[in-house]
Structure 1
Amino acid sequence: MELNGHHLTLEEIKRVVHHFETVTISDEAIQSVMESREMVETAVDKHDVIYGINTGFGKFSDVEIDEEDLDQLQMNLIYSHACGVGEPFSKSVSRAMVLLRANALLKGYSGVRLVVIEKLVELLNKGLTPVIPSQGSLGASGDLAPLAHLALVLLGRGEVFNEAGERKKASEVLPLKGFEPITLKAKEGLALINGTQAMTAVGVLTYLEAEETLLQSEQIAAMTMEGLESIISAFDSKIHQARGHQEQIQVALRMQGYLKGSQLITRQGERRVQDAYSIRCIPQVLGASWQTLDYVKEKLEIEINAATDNPLIFTDEGEVLSGGNFHGQPIAIAMDLLKIGMAEVANISERRIERLVNPQLNDLPPFLSPEPGLQSGAMIMQYTAASLVSENKTLAHPASVDSIPSSANQEDHVSMGTIGARHANQIVQNVRRVVAIELICATEAVEVRGIHKMALATQQLYEKAREVVPSITQDRAFSNDIEALTHWLQDSSEKPVSQN
């Protein structure tokens, strides 16, 4: 996969991060990088005072640095800013960060030597994954602490994950892979850490999981409808065309497709006039979540090809300009919206779980128990779903509305975007577990109704789910079932069923 700084896609990120596709650098990008670097070196030779090249950082921006100390300035920057704490990001997130930083530097606005970018690409191609603590970023000036831990590895410091996923000193692993550390020159340390690549990496991978989870939630909801003998009339296209939201219209069409040929669904007035909102309003609620994901995708696709450091080198105009592209507000708000959109997927799923297990709301065996009273069946699975949904409500509080001044008030407004991205990821993991619980309950319900009466699409989903989790014939430790089905939903490279 060729990087050029301008046309990276979400699908390409997925291929590099998860499938270890080899990365190369385009010739055109190399030329831009070399021209940008030449401007930096000219500025150094002329003793021009430019932030980040021959000045201190943050509140120290007015402190001019002697020419003989410029390289040490950049090395000190990496060492001092590597203040991350907490559990490390996953290997996938770290790989995505390396890829995104290389892509940003290839735009030719950062003034680094080509070797710096080549070393980032070498990390990817040799499977060398930096250990990057997940906490410590304010989201402006960019993801300073996380990216400093990434940069440490280029210097032969810090830690990497080995092939077994164990944390090892970079100084022990790099020589085994033939990786030669580098010494940073003027501007390069700042260029490596001034950016939004931590929040964006988490955001991209979270979005990809959210997209698949939301689609799976529709398919599972269709099976729930069969288990409850729900009314298909509410999904009539005329209803949704009358409102006009395209995402809502598309969800309704997909729900009709999943349930095509089913003998378990009913028509308006056959068994009841209307279903509860958690059934009847699936297109309206999930359609709104799709709208949120569309917005998030748009912002991520821009950010993965953005120049987000400071200052920026404009070779055509011969200018070096200081600005604030490192500020993570666009991604911070997108991540907060993603949290809300996905939390609602779990909210409505948990209400359908309640309708599947509550004997006051259906004519199924109470709590889907094989022996009601003696055995509790799915009773406590609903508790677990309710707990996850409640946790999501706390996590969904927007991170982007908070700001704490830093660097002696020079950096007096920050985005907290990386916190938002981390919380969005946790919400998606919780949502997947909730819809896994709904799937367990739905498979039990359709067994009571009659598998042979199911739609082809939902029957395919049922059969695949049953390969992972057997029927409930007696009480057991259902935690194992929930986790097994959750991992299946996450790891399957295919969608559970066709949309058609």
Structure 2
Amino acid sequence: MELNGRSLSPDILASVSEDGTALTFSPNGKTMLERSRAVIDKAVAERIPVYGVTTGLGSRATEALSAEELSGFSVETLNGRDHALAPALPRQVVRAAMAVRLNTFLTGAAGVSPAVADHLRLVFNAGLTPVVGGWGTIGAADLLLGATMGRAVMGLGGQLVDRDERTSAAADALAMADLTPPQLGPRDGLALANHACFSAGMAGLAVAEARRALESHISIAALSFQAFGGNVTPMDSAVLALKPHSHDARVAGRMRALLDGSDLLDPANARRLQDPISIRNAVQVLGAAERSLAEAAEVVTIEMNASSDNPAVLVDADRVVSTGNYHTPHLALTCDYAARGLAAAATLSVARIAKLCSERLTGLPQYLADPEVGTNGFAPLLKLAESLLGGLQHLAQPTALWPSINADGVEDGLTLAFQSARNFREAAKLGRRITALEALAAAQACDLRGRDLPHRLSELQAAIRAVSPRIRESRPLAEDIEKVVEVI
């Protein structure tokens, strides 16, 4: 997979961070590395004041570094900030951060030594992953997490995990992989540590997960609509044109396509004049969720292909300047927003499960119990649905903000973007499980109703039934639910 600093997407990131894909640098990316490093070398040679390169960091930004300090400042930068606290982040999350950092190096803004950038790439390709604690970033860059990653990659300390999940001291793991870290020069330590690539990487994985969750919500909502015997009037394109939200129209189009061939497309076959909101307004809620996710994808894609460096090299201007690009309010706010969208979709999903379980509303056996067997049917699963929804709703609460107390008043703002992104990703995972529960309820309701399904819903029903047979007698369903998550 070739990185170029411009075209990394959430779906590509999710793939390369998990499947062992080797990364390469584009020719233009290599050129940008060389050109940006030349600007840094010039600044050092001429002792031009550059934050974190020829001056100190944080509240010491006004202090010039001596010649003796310059030689070891990159190592000191990493050693003094390697404080990320356990529990360790999942391997895929750290590899996502590594991939994003490699990609953003190629913008030319970091000014990192080409040899250091290439060493990080070789460590990634060798399947080695730093052990990085999940606590320590406040969103004014991911400084402590980045330092822990950088220190391990350079063999200065910490641990690395290989493809077989064996953990070794970083220096030993690099030696076993026949990798020799290059010497760190000025700016290199800060380039490895001071960036927002953990937040961007986590958010990229969250967007990819949320896309799967939302597509499942849409397809299973259509199956529930068929099982319930819903009224299609709210999905009519003429009705939606009265309030022209484009994402509502797209969701409705997908649901109508899934229902193509259903007798319900003739409103005369509807069982009710007006269905419950969870059925009638599925399009509006899923459309709003899709809109929030589209905005998140746009923001996250920008972050994964942009510089979060401070200072940053302006290659064409031959200058190094201080920036605010390490700060991540766009990322934090859009992750909070998209998580709320998922919560809205999941809330209606749980409501639809309850409606499908109601004999009064569906005309089907109470709790979808098989009429030939005396069981409580889906009644116990309603508790599981609400348990999952409670967890998701908690994750979807906006992350708190306050004035930061860092750097003696110089660094007095934060975003907590990483926590917002982490919550967003976990919310998407719970959303997929809630949808799996709805899938089981809808499939059971379709079986009990005994009517022919339209072609695409018949395929969806078959996929569900391939991993979870029709529920007749009581049986544990936890494994079925996890299997359904993967097939819908």
TM over 0.5: yes
Separation in 1, partners of 2:83, 2:100 = 21
Give the letter aligned to residue 483 of structure 1.
E
1:88-487 correspondence to structure 2 within 5 Å = 88-140=88-140, 142-156=141-155, 157-263=157-263, 267-268=267-268, 270-370=270-370, 374-399=374-399, 401-450=401-450, 453-486=452-485
- Identify which range, 246-255 or 374-383, moves more after superposition: 374-383
Q: 1:433 to 1:358 in 2, by over 3 A?
A: same
Once the two structures are TM-superposed, the CA of residue 128 in structure 1 deviates from its matched residue by 1.4
- Any conservation in 2 of the 1:444–1:471 contact (CA below 8 Å)? yes
CA distance in 1, matches of 2:201, 2:372: 48
Separation (CA, whole Å) in 1 of partners of 2:345 and 2:372: 30
One-letter amino acid of the structure 1 residue matched with residue 319 of structure 2: E
The alpha-carbon distance between structure 1 residues 373 and 383, as it changes in their structure 2 partners (threshold 3 A), is farther
Amino acid of the structure 2 residue aligned with 1:47: R
Shift of 1:2: 2.1
**Identical positions, percent:** 29
How far residue 317 of structure 1 moved from its aligned partner, in angstroms, is 2.2
- What do the CA deviations read for 1:209-234 (whole angstroms, capped 9, x no partner)? 11121111111111111211111222
Number of aligned pairs?
487
Alpha carbons of structure 1 residues 138 and 362: separation in structure 2 relative to 1, 3 Å: same
Measured in 2, the distance between the counterparts of 1:8 and 1:477 equals 42
1:329–1:400 Cα contact (<8 Å) kept: no
Task: Deviation per CA, 1:322-369: give whole Å up to 9, x if none.
Answer: 121100111111111111111111111000001011333322111112
How high is the TM-score relative to the length of structure 2? 0.95
Structure 1 271/154 Cα, relative in aligned 2: closer, same or farther at 3 Å? closer
Measure the CA separation in 2 of the matches of 1:411 and 1:372: 68
Asked if 2 retains the 8 angstrom alpha-carbon contact of 1:217 and 1:345, the reply is yes
What CA distance in whole angstroms lies between the structure 2 residues aligned with 1:336 and 1:402? 16
Per-residue deviation, residues 117-172 of structure 1 (Å, max 9, x unmatched): 101211222111222222221010x0112211211222213222222234332233
Q: Distance in 1 between matches of 2:376 and 2:194?
A: 55
Structure 1 CA distance for aligned equivalents of residues 461 and 292 of structure 2: 29
**Distance between the aligned counterparts of 1:102 and 1:469, measured in 2?**
42
For 1:62, what is the secondary structure of its paired residue? coil
2:263–2:269 Cα contact (<8 Å) kept: no
Tell me the CA shift for residue 11 of structure 1.
Answer: 4.1
Q: Pairwise mapping of residues 7-86 of structure 1 onto structure 2 (< 5 A)?
A: 7-86=7-86
Question: What's the RMSD between the two structures over aligned residues?
Answer: 1.9
What is the Cα deviation at residue 371 of structure 1? 5.8
Q: Tell me which amino acid in the other structure corresponds to 1:235.
A: M
CA contact (8 A) 1:350 1:385 kept: yes
Q: CA deviation at 1:77?
A: 1.5
Distance 1:480 1:28, change over 3 A: closer
Matched AA of 1:208 = A
Shift of 1:90: 2.1
Question: Does the C-alpha gap of structure 1 residues 427 and 270 become closer, same or farther in structure 2, counting only changes over 3 Å?
Answer: closer
State the distance in 1 between where 2:132 and 2:16 align.
Answer: 18
- The whole-number CA distance in structure 1 between the counterparts of 2:5 and 2:476 is 50
Contact 1:268 / 1:274 at 8 angstroms: preserved in 2?
A: no
1:34 to 1:181, Cα distance in 2 relative to 1, 3 A? same
1:412 maps to a residue whose letter is: D
CA contact (8 A) 1:54 1:64 kept: yes
**Secondary structure at the residue paired with 1:55?**
coil
Per-residue deviation, 1:400: 6.0
| Shift of residue 35, structure 1, vs aligned partner | 2.3
Separation of aligned partners in 1, 2:31 and 2:402: 41
